[in-house]
Structure 1
Amino acid sequence: MGKIFAILVFVGVPLSVAGSLMHWPSLVMFAVYCVTIIALSSYMGRATESLAIVTGPRIGGLLNATFGNAVELIISIFALKAGLVAVVLASLTGSVLGNLLLVAGLSFFMGGIKFKRQTFNVYDARHNSALLMFAVIVAFVVPEIFSMTMNESKTLSLSIGISIVLIGLYLAALFFRLVTHRGVYTHQEEGREEFHEEPEWDKKKSIIILLLATLAVAYVSEGLVHTFEAVGEKFGWSELFIGVIIVAIVGNAAEHASAILMAMKNKMDVAVEIAVGSTLQIAMFVAPLLVLLSLFFEKPMPLVFTVPELISMVTAVFLAVSISNDGETNWFEGLTLLAAYFIMGLGFYLL
C-alpha cells in the first residue's frame, strides 16, 4: 500500500501543478486532485504516527489530535475562502456520518468476517459516547433551535460562543486522557495484549515529510475547491452531496483505510479510536475552529446545519453508541452501520 501511495504522490503532485498551469478540464483536475490528496494524507498520517511513537503518549496524543483531520481542515479553509459555506457544513456532516457509519461499519464488518467476536475497551467506548452525544446533539442541535427565533447576527454570535466552549471542552478532554487520567482505564480488562511499536521514520524525517505533505495538500486543496462548481453541474450533484460524500471521503480516505486494516488485524481499540476519536475531533475542534476562522473571510459560517444533516448526525450517534457501548462487535453490527450510511447517502444524493 505504501508503494502505491508513493507512486500516486510523485505522479499526482506534478500533474496537479501542470494541470493547473495549463488549465486542463475541471473534471480531469477534480480526479487528479482527489487522488493526490488521498495519497498525501497517507504520508501525513504515517509521519504523525511515527512522531507519536517517538515523542511518547502525551505529545503523541496531542500530535494525533492536531493533525488527525488536517487534510479536511485545509480543504474546508479554502472552501470558506471561496464562499462555499454550505459545502463546508456538509463536509462536517459527512465526516461525522463517514466515521461513525462507514468507517466503523467497514471495520466491524471486515474484522467480523475474520473473527467471530471482537472486543475493545468498553470504558473508552462509554467515555466517548457521552462526548459524542454532547458534541453532536447539544452543540449542533441547540444553535439550530435558537436560530429559528434569531436574526443572522445573533445566530453568528451564538455560534461563536458555542465554538469557544467546544474547543475549551475538547482541550480539557485531551488533558483528561493524556495527563490526569492517562492509563487509568487502559488495563481494566483482562487478556489484552500490549503492542510495542517501532516508528517507520525517525523524528527529523517525520517532521520534514509532515511539513512538505501539508504544504502540498494546501496547494492541491485550493485547486480542488475551484472544481466543485463544474463537477456539480456536470453530474447534477448539489453542494450538499459534494460536501457530505465527496469532500468527506477524500479528506479522510487514508485514515479510513487504516481503521479497516487495524480491524482485520484484530486491533479493535485502534480501529474504534480512529472512527470515534476522529468524529469527536471534527465536532469539538474542527467545526468550531472553522466557525472562528470564517470570521476572517467575506462570508462567516454560523454553526447551523440543515434539518436533514442534523437528523442524520443524531441518528448516526445514537446508532453508533447503542452498538459500541457493550465493548464488543461482529460483522452483522458492521453491516447495520453500513446500511444506515448508504440509506442516508441516497437521501443526500436525491435531495
Structure 2
Amino acid sequence: MIFAGVPLVIIGALMHWSAILMFILCCLTIIALAGVIGRATESLAIVSGPRIGGLLNATFGNAVELIISIFTLKAGMIGIVLASLTGSVLGNLLLVLGLSFFMGGIKYKRQNFNIHDAKYNSGLLIFAIIVAFVIPEIFSMTMDRPTTINLSIGISIILIALYLAGLLFKLVTHRGVFDSEKTDGGEKETPEWTKRKAIIILILSTVAVAFVSEQLVHTFETIGERFGWSQLFIGIIIVAIVGNAAEHASAITMALKDKMDVSVEIAVGSTLQVAMFVTPVLVLISLFMPEPMALVFTIPELVAMIAASLLVINLCNDGESNWFEGLLLFAAYIIMGIGFFFL
C-alpha cells in the first residue's frame, strides 16, 4: 500500500491522462511518499538521537524538494525553482514552525528548546538569507548575466563549504554545547522499523519520488494556465508544501510529544539546509542544464524571506515557545501567501 500511487502515475503517464488529474495524483503520491520518508527517518532518529534525527529528517525531506527542482530546472522553469526554494524557506520557518509552536503550545502551555541551538540558528539565518541572498540581488543590478552567474557560482561554493563546516562545528568539535539539558520523551522509545528496513524504505521512496516528480513538472504549465496561477504562486505555495510534506508532519508530531529540540531542528535546520546547501547545489547543477540559474530572487521573494527570518529570530532567541507565538508565525505565512497569490 505504501507505493500504491506510483503504479497509477505510471498508468496515467502511459495513457496520457489529463494534466489536472495527473497534478492531483502526483501531489498526493509525493505527500504519501514524504510521509513514509518521515516515518523512516523518525525510526533512525530514535537510534541516533534528536540532533542527528532532525538532520536526517530535514535531509531526506529536502531530497524530495531537490529532486522536484532538478526536473523543473531541466524543463527550463527557473522561476518556479527559485519560487519553490523561497516557499520552502517560508514554509519551514512560518508554517511548519508556527504549527509546531501552536499545536505543542496548546497541549503543554509553554515548551523549551536548546537556547544555544536557537542562537546558532539565528546567526546562520542572518548570514544565509540576509547576507548571501541579498548580495547577488544588489550586485546583479550593475552586472550582465554571465558575470551574475559567475558571482552566483562563487557564493554557492562558499555557502556549501560553510554549511559543511557548520555541521562539523555542531556535531563534532562543539557537540557538548548543543546537547539538550532535558531528555526528550521520558521513557525509551522503540523504533517503528529496524535500521536496515528504514534505510531500504528511504532508498525506494527516494527513487519513487524522482519518477513522480518528473511527471508532476510536466503539469505545471497547464495547471498555471487553467487556474490563472503564476509560476511564483505555484513554486512558493504548491511545490513547497508538497516538497516539504515530510518535515511538516514530523515537526508537528515531535512538538505534540514535547520534543521541541527535534521539532525546531527539523523546521529551522531544514531552512538552513535549503538556503546553504540545496540552493547552491541547484545553482551548480544548473550549469549542466540548457539555462544556468543565477542566485537572484525577485524583490518580493527576498523581502518575504528576510521578514520571516527576522520574526523567527526574535521569537526563538529565548529558547521558549507557546501557542500564541505559533499563531503569529502562521498568520505571517497566510499574509505572505495571499500577497503572492495576487502578485
TM class, shorter-length: over 0.9
Aligned residue for 1:216, secondary structure, equals helix
Distance verdict in 2 for CA 1:185–1:204, change over 3 Å: closer
TM-score (norm 2): 0.95
1:286 aligns with 2:283: no
TM-score (norm 1): 0.93
1:227 aligns with 2:219: yes
Distance verdict in 2 for CA 1:55–1:269, change over 3 Å: closer
- By how many angstroms is 1:59 displaced? 7.2
Distance in 1 of aligned mates of 2:111 and 2:49: 27
Gaps of 5+ in 2: none
Distance in 1 of aligned mates of 2:151 and 2:315: 33
Distance in 1 of aligned mates of 2:192 and 2:99: 26
1:340 pairs with 314, 332, 341, which one? Answer: 332
Q: How does 1:10-159 map to 2 (within 5 A)?
A: 10-54=3-47, 63-64=56-57, 66-159=59-152
2:261 pairs with 261, 269, 276, which one? Answer: 269
Which AA in structure 2 matches 1:159?
Answer: S
Q: How does 1:185-264 map to 2 (within 5 A)?
A: 185-187=178-180, 189=181, 196-264=188-256
Distance in 2 of aligned mates of 1:221 and 1:70: 11
Aligned residue for 2:244, secondary structure, equals helix
Aligned residue for 1:150, secondary structure, equals coil
CA RMSD of aligned residues (A): 1.9
Matched residue pairs, number?
A: 343
Distance in 2 of aligned mates of 1:52 and 1:266: 15
Checking the alignment, whether the CA contact within 8 Å between 1:62 and 1:174 is kept in structure 2 is no
Gaps of 5+ in 1: 1-6
Q: How does 1:309-328 map to 2 (within 5 A)?
A: 309-328=301-320
Q: Deviations over 1:77-114 (max 9, x none)?
A: 00000001000000000000001111111111111112
- By how many angstroms is 1:272 displaced? 1.0
Q: Which moved more, 1:144-153 or 1:64-73?
A: 64-73
Identity rate, percent = 70
Distance in 2 of aligned mates of 1:170 and 1:100: 18
1:180 pairs with 165, 173, 179, which one? Answer: 173
Checking the alignment, whether the CA contact within 8 Å between 1:54 and 1:202 is kept in structure 2 is no
Distance in 2 of aligned mates of 1:51 and 1:95: 24
